Chain A
Amino acid sequence: MIPTDEPCLSAADPGSPPPPTDLPQDAALEMLRSPYERSLDCVHCGLCLPPCPTYRVSGHESDSPRGRILLIRAMAEGRLSPDDASGWEALDGCLDCRACESACPSGVTYGRILEETRRERPRLARGSLRERSLRFLLDRFIASPRGRKAALEAAVLLRALGLDRLLSRLPVLPGLLRHALSLGRSLPPRSSRRPIPPGLYPAEGPPKARIGLFTGCLMEDFFGNANRAALSLLRRCGLEVLVPSDQGCCGALHLHQGFEEACVRLLERNFAAFEGVDFIVSTAAGCGSTLREAGAIRGNDRACAFSSRVLDLSVCLDRFGPPPRPRAVPLRVVWDDPCHLRHAQGITEEPRRLLRGIPGLRLLEVEASESCCGSAGIYNLRRPETADAILERRLEALLGSGAEAVVTGNPGCQLQIANGLRARRSPLEVFHLAEILERAAGGGETAPKAPALNGSRSSRPA
């Protein structure tokens, strides 16, 4: 029926893989059993292509969710060697932003397919230097408070001495470090980075519930002010807030890279730290998403009970508030949907509703607000060029919108967008949702100082 031999074609046939009807069976399949089963929901319709930021940059099917699913399936079926570099190159290129899940009519759980496949990588493929260095970076500099502080101090010191610019001009410097230095320049000033002392903070008025505030790693170290604003807002909504001292990294970045057992270990610690609170509130979309998926990842009752109590800050304020907003904030702002809020948690309305309620504030909608900014955990460090190309599209929309400020709900996005705007010398400022809301609430000492909001865009000379 189908032409199998084409006499007019002269190039040698590279040899077709076995027909797809063959029942897959071997070790690779055993390791990839779960992602393989999940992948069977995909009928290859292609609706996930346009929302995929990496596909939009390259136009390559292998940089699309549909292509990556096919590659994982091919690995399980033995049609693609698990050692094949081009396959992993494609899988590594994924942001894990999950915009494809929002577009998928079949409800393919793409995020889990990718994470489970990355998890099996050490068993499937020969260990790589890349793998080990990534793991080192995550363990020592992200999940460890000491490492984080050291890196932060180093960045601040370099900046103060003006060495960062000098260093980033060195041609021998790897792209990752160069990009990290650039991001360091977009850090908020020290005065905006003060973390919250652990403890129990009383509600204003009779308490409606007890909240455990998950302060996060980057959030706490880079955007302490936003966490302080969140604390104040929660209390204004009549919520008692516990900031446990023994909480720690949620493991989201580990999970996205496939280090699932490390993520689980980190999660376990938080299960214990947040015993006894009614809800756990996250100010970072990325952390909140992983905390909410803990049940699905761990699969036991304790994890499920924990997960079901996790709320994003916007949802919590919307449900128990809204917080009072007596003070006008005369700004035209754009709400930047963090992917792990919009696509992973399906939250779009609550932050917008909270913003619309601020007197004097005008909320603008821009095109591509559902598209990733390129930060994606540590993606912007792993693949700076792709991340920049993705950011570019987002910035175009923001700059063309006539907005004066961008409001978001995730530290990675905040840093990435602020960095992009700084590079373009744009006057647009970037804030966390909590900062703007706290300002409208008439925030005192925890609020940024008026009139110039000390957002993440540093106007301070280095």
Chain B
Amino acid sequence: MPRESRLPVPIRNALPEGRILEDPATRLVYEYDAWSIVRNPPLAVAFPESTAEVRNLVRACIESGVAWTARGAGTCLSGGATPSGGTCLLIETSRMDRILSLDPEDRIAVVQPGRINLELSRAAAPFGLHFAPDPSSQSASTLGGNLAENAGGPHCFKYGMTTDHVLGLTLVDGEGEVCRLHRDDGLDLCGLVVGSEGTFGVLTECELRLIPTPTAVRTFLASFSSMEAACRAVAKIVSSGTVPAALEILDRLSIEAVEASVFAAGYPKGADAVLLVELDGEEDEVEAERIPVLRAVQSEAPLEVEETSDPEQRARLWRGRKGAFGAMGRLKPDLFVLDGVVPPSKLAAVLAEITAIGREQDILLSNVFHAGDGNLHPNLSFDGRNPGERERAMEAGRRILKLCVDAGGSISGEHGIGFEKIEHLSYLFSPTDLEILGEVRRCFDPAERCNPGKVLPLGRACGEGSSARRPGILPSREREDP
């Protein structure tokens, strides 16, 4: 294409020919991730393949005064992988998808950030191991994205979030330096980077913990005629001291959407809510835990209870849950998924209020959520082409998050703040809090060029020009010449 390049020369020269694209089609398809509200076609899209190439790119961006956003598979639900603005370079890690090492004895895998979550577990399966965090997007989302967002997933109730499975990482920070951070190196800076949504730098390697795949797994599906009953059953299970691997609820609208899709799981269509419970571990452990689970479920007069340990049947039951988000496309062209958290004991009450907000804003609202840890995912389905509908969805979202905070919860469980919730940070943090958090971030990225405008409001660095970074604050830094 004999188009004139808009790219500054240093960026154009940072990668081998053909790995930076700026044609209209490429710029268009990278304008947003799985959160559709804000769209910014990037300046260009770069496809690095190694840490050194990322470092060269970042240094070229610094030299040219251009900001950058890193992206994996673009499955983020809060705009984390949406370009920060039209003058931003998008660094796409899809070509950095190798497993650099997999040590079954130490149960450690080192991967490049573009590796797909599920494909790491697949590679570890022959050794009886897997990577525990299982966001619903795990068949597509990348580990780099999972780390950046500190992704969760149904099984995080028992096994912890992504950060609990990260042992170390390599990052090209906001000054173009390669930092290798490890959990054992004094201050846990590695933990600080996980969940920073790409605002500290671009991840180029991830050292991850693999865990043994449980020998016994049992999945229960219980359907209820009311959402309250399903929530009460969850509260009873949690308070019995049992720690199921997962506790998930889908409401009526979600059930109908997935049952109409290729992910149809055989959920009873007349039910108001279905509850998925999974127990795993050793055979006797699972056997002991199933009694209190069944007792809790039975006490809430379920319509139906299905119990299975057959791998195929279990996969079927989970299929509907994993496909629920995408299946919402059957309802309306646009979707806005929220990610609020409330104490599990308040689930039923909060859900009732959420339903009321949906009705008041006249927005089609469905719920799929991690009931065990009170992580709600209200899905707001709308048609952005109709005047006012997008605004009403945004307003419903704002009110729901406020409601979660007022109930003693938080605005985000696992999807990240991104662009989406940046305004809502004030429900949780004072301006001073935010200023301090900004200071922390500027230790890694003094000029605020890494994914600016996500997680934290833009600080002073941009407008006022920032002081240079305090020297020596980060350990294990390696200066590498280009």
| Chain A residues within 8 Å of B, Cβ to Cβ | 1-4, 6-17, 19-21, 23-24, 40-50, 55, 59-62, 64, 66-67, 70-71, 74, 79-81, 84-87, 89-90, 101-108
Contact = CB atoms under 8 A, between A and B. Distances in A.
A47 B413 CA distance: 21
B168 to A, nearest CB: 25
A102 B261 CA distance: 10
Given A105-B258, A108-B329, A62 B66 contact: no
B24 A86 contact: yes
A117 to B, nearest CB: 13
Given A59-B92, A80-B25, A105 B323 contact: yes
Nearest to A6: B85
B326 A45 contact: yes
30 contacts: A1-B422, A3-B453, A6-B85, A6-B458, A9-B65, A10-B65, A13-B86, A13-B87, A14-B86, A21-B385, A43-B34, A43-B328, A46-B73, A46-B137, A46-B141, A47-B326, A50-B73, A55-B94, A59-B92, A64-B29, A71-B28, A74-B28, A80-B28, A85-B23, A86-B24, A104-B261, A106-B326, A106-B328, A107-B262, A107-B329
Contact of A70 (B8, B29, B116, B448): B29
A105 B40 contact: no
B260 to A, nearest CB: 7
Contacts of B260: 107
A8 B447 contact: yes
Contacts of B447: 8
Q: Is the interface of A mostly helix, strand, loop or mixed?
A: loop
Nearest to B65: A10
A421 B329 CA distance: 41
A103 B326 CA distance: 10
A87 B140 contact: no
Given A9-B66, A10-B65, A89-B25, A43 B261 contact: no
Interface size of B as a range: 35 or more
Given A9-B87, A10-B66, A43 B25 contact: no
Q: Is the interface of B mostly helix, strand, loop or mixed?
A: loop
Contacts, number: 206
B84 A6 contact: yes
B26 interface: yes
A40 B67 contact: no
A16 B32 CA distance: 13
Nearest to B67: A9
Contacts of A85: 1, 23
A221 B271 CA distance: 55
Nearest to B454: A3
Given A2-B422, A3-B453, 12 more contacts: A2-B38, A3-B452, A14-B43, A19-B39, A43-B329, A46-B74, A59-B114, A62-B25, A64-B29, A66-B29, A74-B28, A84-B25
Given A3-B458, A20-B39, A106-B330, A15 B28 contact: no
A46 B35 CA distance: 11
B84 A8 contact: no
A167 to B, nearest CB: 30
Interface string B306-331: 00000000000000000111111110
Nearest to A8: B462
A7 B84 CA distance: 13
B482 interface: no
B167 interface: no
B86 A59 contact: no
B102 interface: no
Contacts of A106: 261, 326-330
A413 B197 CA distance: 43
A84 B24 CA distance: 8
A64 B423 CA distance: 33
Contact of B47 (A4, A49, A60, A66): A60
